[in-house]
Structures are given as structure tokens and as C-alpha cells.
Amino acid sequence: MMGDFFEMNRKFFQLAAPSYVIPGTIGDNCLVLKDQVREVGLTLFESTACLNYTDKDIPRELAGLNLGFHVHLPLDYDWTTGAEEVFSLTTRLLQKVQFLRPDKFVLHPPINEKDLDRFASLWTDRFGKRGRGETERRRSGETGSGKNGEITALERSGVLKGQNLLVENIDENDLTGCWDVVCAKNLGVCLDLGHILAYDQWSLLDLPTLWERVKLLHVYGLEKNKKHYGLEELNEEGKELLRYILDRVRGGITLVLEVFSLAEFVSSKRMLVDWLHSWRIELV
């Protein structure tokens, strides 16, 4: 009975990896990772290159690997073109991966909170209610086939809603300046441990409703010159911060071990499992 009590009081998190740990396609990486994790983050970092992906890059067979997926949207969005153009580009990218049914979408937020507000409005206006996008297409006479139809499956699934659009704390935007927009649009958060440490973003941790909004954690040892290092580089302050965060976020969310080398991923995973086990936390 006592063992059952402690088991019930354990926290569980789902482990994920980025879709680039070896040179190769997303398909190649998923095949390598399928026995290591339960979820893969599709790193659509370069907008033009990713728009040119074909079935050779993201093969249909990936849907049968029993993996969950989320999407990291491009790092090179040009917000000077306007939120409408960025949103249009986003919908075209999502057409490439809709068959994998990703359920979280990470956005590096623009510096200008008005751009974030507009992008979030476009997102929620189109995706805010299950099936609404399909209903609007029927009213407008669209058939749901072709390019528009490609995104319909995701719209029907109900995952393309505000709280599954996750803004990440980044070097240029620690979220404190756009928090009113995050709350008003009911957005989620991808909390990056390395960015808090590298860019002195401690005030982020005091934002109201932060912990209930976090749906994804980025964990790694150190960010230096925009490169991520394995957990061997995480100092004691970083380790304490990781435990602090894990104690406060909801159990069951996804923890991404965000390193881009298979060897570093495997060694970091081993360290992470040991740490979490000692904290009565498990990865699934």
C-alpha cells in the first residue's frame, strides 16, 4: 500500500527529441529516435528549405512509428512582411506535416508584441474552434481538397487552438513584454531552461499563470554562441533550476532534450533519467 502511495505521487513527463540528431532527413532521424523517445519535435527551422520538403524528407511511413509529434516553427520568419504573411507561410508549412497529427506548435515570438497579437488572432480565428475552419470553407464554396484540404485534418482534430500555439522564451524576447498578449489570446508556453540561464531571464518565472501555460520544456546543458551542449555542461545552478521548474509545471507535459547530436542525446538522456529518478520523477 505504501508503495502504491508513492507511485501515485510520482510525476511523469514524456520525453522528446528534436528531429535532427544525425545528418539526414526527418525520416532518417525518426527511425533512429523511435526506440529512444515517445515524441519527436519536427524542427522546421528554415522556412524556404522546409517548404521544399517532399515525401523523401518526411515519408508517409512515419505515421506508423507510434510516435507523437510537435512542430518547432521556423527561426527565420521575416516579421517585417507582416503577421499575415508569416501566418500564410505557417499554414503552408503545416500542410507538409499534417498527416503526422502534431499537437503542439512552438513559435519564437516577434519582438513587437503587436505582431504576436495579430498572428495569434489569425491562428485562433482560423483554428480556434473544432471544425470551424471546415464549416467556413463549406460556406465559402471550397471543396476541402487540394492545398486547403491538406490542413483540414488538423483543423478537425481540434489541436490547432490557441493554447497549443506555444511561445518560447528566446534571447530577443523573454515573454515578459508580451505577457498580456499571451494571456489575452490564451497561448501556451515552451519554457527553455538554457535561455533562462544564458540570458538572465529569471523574472520570467514570476509571471502569473506561467506554470499552467507551460506545455513543453526545452532542456539541455548550456547555450553558447547559439549552440546547445549536452547535460554534462549543466552546472549546479542549472540543475537546481530544472528541479524547480519540474516541481511547478503540470505532470504529463513533454520534456524535449534539445541537443542536436545523437551521442550527446544518448549520454544526456542517461544523466536525465538518473536525476529525475532521484527526484521521484519518471520519463515515459
Which band of pLDDT confidence, cut at 50, 70 and 90, is reported for residue 216?
A: very high
Rounded to an integer, what distance in angstroms lies between the CA atom of residue 248 and that of residue 110? 27
Q: Which amino acid is at 249?
A: V
Lowest mean pLDDT across 41-50, 67-76, 90-99, 125-134: 125-134
| Dihedral-angle region of residue 100 (phi above 0 means left; psi in -120 to 50 means alpha; beta otherwise) | alpha
* pLDDT of 151: 63
Checking if the pLDDT of 2 tops 90, the result is no
Rounded to an integer, what distance in angstroms lies between the CA atom of residue 212 and that of residue 37? 24
- Vertex 51 angle, CA 46 and 57, to 5°: 90
Alpha helix stretches (DSSP H) within the chain: 2-8, 26-33, 47-51, 83-97, 113-127, 132-140, 146-150, 152-157, 179-184, 193-198, 210-213, 236-248, 262-278
Q: Is the dihedral of CA 229, 234, 237, 243 positive or negative?
A: positive
Query: What residues contact residue 105 under an 8 Å CB cut-off, 6+ apart?
Result: 70, 71, 73, 94, 160, 164, 165, 166
Which band of pLDDT confidence, cut at 50, 70 and 90, is reported for residue 98?
A: very high
Strand bridging mode 227-229 / 222-224: antiparallel
* pLDDT of 241: 98
Closest CA to 213 of 190, 191, 188: 188
Closest CA to 89 of 126, 51, 57: 51
Checking if the pLDDT of 162 tops 80, the result is no
Which band of pLDDT confidence, cut at 50, 70 and 90, is reported for residue 155?
A: low
The arithmetic mean of pLDDT across residues 63-79, rounded, is 97
Q: Is the overall model pTM greater than 0.85, yes or no?
A: yes
* pLDDT of 161: 63
